[in-house]
Amino acid sequence: MKVRIYQPSKTAMQSGRAKTHRWLLEYEIETPRRPEPLMGWISSGDTLNQVKLGFETREEAIAFAQKKGWEFTVQDAATRRVRPRNYADNFRHDRPRI
């Protein structure tokens, strides 16, 4: 069984970074997704893709996957780049292009 270990990024609906510090273990999809004939929704015969396990640290998630004997891939989180900005910069004539 293949699993993916990652740290989730913040959603577009969030202004803060809550719920982004935990590590998630998610199962990889083993059966292909296909449209359901009656409603047209996308479905899969595999229900494990709905399960996400949360861990405090990356090492805990890796240890859990190794204990179960699963193949895993670890995705490191992208580093957050903060550009310091000033409110007065919005009204400068020679604003830097972003």
Domain boundaries of the chain, sorted by first residue: 1-8+21-28+48-77
> Tokens representing 84?
């310091």
Please check whether the domain covering 1-8+21-28+48-77 is classified as CATH 3.30.160.190: yes
pLDDT for residue 88: 84
Our CA angle for 43, 6, 9, nearest 5°, is 85
**pLDDT tier at 93, thresholds 50, 70, 90:** confident
Q: Which residues contact 26 (CB under 8 A, 6 or more apart)?
A: 3, 4, 5, 6, 49, 51, 52, 53
Residue 40 token pair: 């047209």
Per-residue model confidence (pLDDT) at position 18: 81
**Each residue's pLDDT tens digit, 25-74:** 999 888 888 898 888 888 887 888 889 999 999 999 999 999 999 999 99
| Cβ 8 vs Cβ 75: under 8 Å | no
pLDDT at 95: 58
The torsion angles phi and psi of 43, rounded to 5 degrees, stand at: -135, 170
Which of 97, 60, 72, 63 has its CA nearest to residue 5?
Answer: 72
